Structure 1
Amino acid sequence: MLNVGVIGTGMIGQDHIRRMTRVLAGVRVAAVADVDASLAARIADRAGARAAPDGEQVIADPQVDAVLVCSWGPTHEQYVLAAIAAGKPVFCEKPLATTQQACLRVVDAEVRHGARLVQVGYMRRYDAAYRALKQVVDAGDIGAPLMMHCAHRNPRVPAFYEPQSAITDTAVHEIDMVRWMFDDEIVAARVLVPRRSRNGGDLQDPLLLLLETGGGVLVDVEISVNVRYGYDIRGEILGENGTAALAERGLVTVRRSGALAAPVPVDWRERFLAAYDVELQEWIDALAADGAPAGPSAWDGYAAAVVSDAGVAALRTGERVAVRMAERPRLYHRPAPQARPVNDSREVPA
């Protein structure tokens, strides 16, 4: 049984605690902490866990085997570094840290430790539809991939959402997904600005993010965060010999009276509920089997931060911005895991 300490009991923290106590196997919530001590106490009581005074004490708790960081983004670096120093595996919700320099400090600490401890919460890699799409690409069924068209649409965003959030909080999921999908680094970014939607107020919305991979695949990402009608995630890959696209998996499609209709998820939790379940279960299973995580690494968190920064610079300047990353440490040179077979039986917007 893996005893997990949870730092942060906001929306995603509470959802992960529910997941670990009601859905997943081989795991127990042992300790909980939050800046709101009364909230942490209530959540801990419901989970049968201990309420700790702060995140550091969760990490230091001898009854905690691994740590789940779900706190405010600017605190991620300190907690992940503390977990590495304690030699404990740590699952960190995105971002790994709020700057690429901070991400590199995490990478350096893990390299000095000598083995992987960190996994970053990029759940697209665990979604059945994305895994099926990667299987098609890896098998060469459509020939060499040439382009990918993506859309990331939210019905609305909160008032504190900032212009750069479209890149750093929203499109960052596509950034990580693209690196994983094509087993390649992103080498440049550009942002195009169309006519502004009246639904976005003073926010420049939508945006078109253009990414170039080292292998020559071009990816466009439509970022629309005030579309009102629902949460809509799309992806289609053009290959030399065909195309492959995300399907509306798990949704009922109705054909009637000369029309085609299907429900649209209301938010990211509904669309990726199963992916979050698979993500954490595979983390738990990997720690039980090998003592180390196998999912998105600290290096992946760093790479996403670097590409996000390039995207923000492209948004500000209107220019093509090259992506320049540090040399990848040997620790992260292991071949990327292949997409697993799909089992058909079974704080800001994401």
Structure 2
Amino acid sequence: MANIGILIAMVSFLPTAYGQSQRCTVPELSQCVCIKTEVYCEDIGLTEVPRNIPNTTTALVLDGNAITKIESASFFGLPSLEKLSLRDNKISSIETGAFDWLWSLTALFVDHSTEIDVPTEVLTAITTLTNLTRLDLTNCRISSEDLNLLSGLKSLQHLTLDNNDISYIKPGLFNGFLSLYHLSLRNTSLTAVSANIFDATTILKVLIIFDNPLMCCTMTDYFEWLPNQLPYLVVAGTCHDFNRTTDIRIFNTSHCTFPVDDQWSSWSTPTCSVTCGIGTGLRNRSCDSPPPSDNGKECIGSYTEAINCSLIACPEPYRRRGCKRRHGRGRK
């Protein structure tokens, strides 16, 4: 009986909005459900964004349909829209200016929704949404180069980039993202997460980097950066080195060794072949500054080099004798 009482108490706290849901009265939305200012058109076989969406709409959910194209006027007249979800569609084209009317939009979900091989136009359209605080681009075929288009979305708080082909992240990409507290990069192609993609200190609370081929010893700057972040930052992920996989939170970088390549020393001062005038000098250098270690590469190039040397002008008698040697007679 006690358990039943608890269950009844929990049910009483459920949102009442769903009890007020009803079919939308707008003919174009007859298959959709309207809850106050929210419109839900999920899994009803739509091939395009419905027309005549009320201009007071604050949330529009179009998940699980077969929408292939977002036209420039698809969201015209929706200045109050704060949340837009396009999950699990088949979007192959987004016209220029498609999101220009969404001045109030703060949350956008387009995960698992694109079928285009080059999603640049999707990201280009998103760059106009400078008020976004939440963005989900899971499985949108985004590459490392495409990712740079997000650098202007400084208001983001929650960013999900899972299941994309991101092999590296450009240094400084997240500089100035002062509100970003949740970043998920699960199952990409990253081999390293470097501290240089962030500011020196952040307000990150969650960093998810599971299911990536991360190499622990290539991330030493990240491990140095980590202690300067919030003490309750949750990092979820693993990295690989020394033939084992390690929880990234406990990896000890003191076990890492790094190849040191050979470096040339400075050239020695050459000894000139003449005592005056122009001659030839030979200079030397050594390959030990530092010497190689831990399979570092050896120097490339020559240990010696011949160069021209120019000393003070020779006295007049020397110049005359030189003239005789070259021309057979001297000047009187």
Q: In which range does the TM-score fall when normalised by the shorter chain?
A: under 0.3
Relative contact order higher in (CA < 8 Å, ≥ 6 apart): 1
Please say which structure displays the higher CA radius of gyration: 2
How does the TM-score come out when normalised to structure 1? 0.27
Q: Which has the higher helix share?
A: 1
